Amino acid sequence: MMQADGKMVDGSLLGDANGVEPAPGRLKDSGKWQRPRFSRKALMKCCLVKWIITSKQAQDKGDSSDSDLELSTVRHQPEGLDQLQAQTKFTRKELQSLYRGFKNECPSGLVDEETFKSIYSQFFPQGDASTYAHFLFNAFDLDRNGSIRFEDFVIGLSVLLRGSVTEKLNWAFNLYDINKDGYITKEEMLAIMKSIYDMMGRYTYPCVRDEAPSEHVDKFFQKMDRNRDGVVTIEEFIETCQKDENIMNSMQLFENVI
């Protein structure tokens, strides 16, 4: 699949259910999956990080003063820097950079769904990113109040970019569980898959067929729904993913669409 910057990325959300060879460098000598290390360069592949850092750089040109996490002008006061550093895997300097960009783009201290849609429409102008941005926003909006605090924003990013395998899989389950009832249905999985194809699919190589998302979901869901009750639990999801190297390798796709 072709990314917005012209790079090739995996065309499926969870890898190829037919067993495509895993990406090189992702397996240990023992054959077990190894979580990729995210460098600063890899971090900058993340759309949300690009959005924040670009805003910060623009702000820095006109403001050379240092900024911490204490602002009296915002509607929402974020938690202290030390507390966020303890809750995430970002350094103090990274958190400062992320916050400066965040508050420059969102002076109120909160980000709404329309902002998410705007971000993804900028990075994926060749497709329709609105539905995917909606689903992604809901995954970050843990208290379901229609806005995301800086704390929730960076905690989510920390999991996605530097979290353990289990942490990432829990986050992915939350994304697929659209109605947040603790289960993933085939319809929910298909909705997420189609939203990614709508955003990126028309510019894939080789060209993606219209029925491709449904075919992928049928294969993945059959693997995950172990007791054949029509839904996938968090336990089934994590167990299946951890036992399937192709699925685990494809988790790197979050680098390209988050």
pLDDT at residue 170 in the model: 94
Render 142-204 in DSSP notation, one character per residue: TT-SS-EEHHHHHHHHHHHHH--HHHHHHHHHHHH-TT-SS-EEHHHHHHHHHHHHHHHGGG-
Question: Where do runs of H (alpha helix) occur along the chain?
Answer: 40-43, 47-62, 81-87, 92-105, 113-123, 130-140, 150-162, 165-176, 186-200, 212-224, 234-243, 245-250, 254-257
pLDDT tens-digit readout, 214-241: 888 898 899 999 999 999 999 999 999 9
Measured CA to CA in angstroms, residue 81 lies from 84, 87, 103 at distances of: 5, 10, 14
Write the CB contacts of 109 (distance below 8 Å, at least 6 apart in sequence): 71, 74, 75, 76, 77, 78, 103, 149, 150
Which of 166, 169, 151 shows the shortest CA–CA distance to 88?
A: 151
pLDDT at residue 142 in the model: 86
Mean pLDDT of the chain: 76
Residue 224 · residue 240 · CB < 8 Å:
yes
Residue 191 · residue 135 · CB < 8 Å:
yes
HSE-CB for 152 with a 13 A CA cutoff: 20
Angle at 229 between CA 226 and CA 233, to 5 degrees: 60
pLDDT tens-digit readout, 103-128: 888 889 899 999 999 999 988 888 89
pLDDT tens-digit readout, 169-213: 999 999 999 999 999 999 999 999 899 888 876 555 455 566 778
* Of 61-70, 177-186, 247-256, highest mean pLDDT: 177-186
Write the CB contacts of 251 (distance below 8 Å, at least 6 apart in sequence): 14, 165, 168, 169, 172, 241
3-state SS class at 8: strand
3-state SS class at 208: coil
Residue 67 · residue 104 · CB < 8 Å:
no
Domains in the chain, ordered, with CATH?
A: 81-163 (1.10.238.10), 164-257 (1.10.238.10)
